[in-house]
Amino acid sequence: MASRSVNKVILIGHLGRDAETKFTPGGAAVTRFSVATSRRWKDQQSGEWKEETDWSNVTLWRQETVGQYLTKGKQVYVEGRLQTRSYEDKDGKKVYATEVVADEVILLSGQGGGGGRGGDEYSQQPVSMPRSAQRQQPAAAPQNDDYGQGITEDDIPF
C-alpha cells in the first residue's frame, strides 16, 4: 500500500518588508517577502501574558505584478508548501534555508492591518491565482430536474 504525505502551509500574518520581485535568466518572475505570525498565551507560573512572533520567508513564482501590492505591514493569507534548499556560503559552509513556496496569496487588509486608504479597501482581494484555478475548467452541466434529487448519503463512497 502506498503511503501518503502532506506538505501544506497556511499562514495569516503581516508582511515584515515590501515584497521584492526579480526575474530568472529565463524570464520567470520570483517574488519574495516575509510574513510575521504571532501567538499569545498566559504563563501559568507568573500569570503574565507572553507573545512570540515567528518569521516565515515566502517565495511566489510567476506573478509579475504582485510586488506592488505586498507592502510592509499589510495582512495577508498565504497558502503553499514548505521547501528546504541548501547552498554553500562564502566560506564554503553548507547552509540550509526553509521557505514557504506560495500557491495562493490574498490581501486581507490595507496598510498595517486595516488602516489607511479607506479601511479595508483591499479586503480579501487575491493577488495571485491558485494553480488549480489556472487550469481550464470544463463547462458545468445544465441543471435539470430530470436528473434526480441530488446527492444522498448512499452516493458517498466512504
Q: What is the pLDDT of residues 17-59, one digit of tens each?
A: 999 999 999 999 999 999 999 999 999 999 999 999 999 999 9
Question: pLDDT tens across 59-110, in order?
Answer: 999 887 888 889 999 999 999 999 999 999 999 999 999 999 999 999 997 5
Cell of 34: 516575509
Cell of 115: 488602516
| Long-range contact pairs involving 87-96 (C-beta distance under 8 Å, separation at least 24) | none
Q: Which residue has the higher pLDDT, 15 or 122?
A: 15
- Domain contains 120: yes
**Is 117 a residue whose pLDDT tops 80?**
no
Cα 63 from chain centroid?
Answer: 13
- Domain contains 55: yes
**Is 121 a residue whose pLDDT tops 50?**
no
β-pair partners for 9: 80
Question: pLDDT tens across 144-154, in order?
Answer: 444 344 455 55
- Give the integer Cα–Cα distance in Å for 46 and 130: 45
Q: Return the biggest CA–CA distance within the chain.
A: 72
Q: Is the pTM of this model over 0.85?
A: no
**pLDDT grade for 137, boundaries at 50, 70 and 90:** very low
Number of domains in the chain: 1
- Domain contains 3: no
- The residue range of the domain holding 88 is 9-155
**Is 140 a residue whose pLDDT tops 70?**
no
- Domain contains 108: yes
Q: What is the 3-state secondary structure (H, E, C) of 28-91?
A: CEEEEEEEEEEEEEECCCCCCEEEEEEEEEEEEECCCCHHHCCCCCCEEEEEEEEEEEEEECCC
- Domain contains 33: yes
* Domain CATH code at residue 57: 2.40.50.140
- Give the integer Cα–Cα distance in Å for 110 and 135: 29
Q: Among candidates 22, 32, 28, 19, which has minimal Cα distance to 97?
A: 32
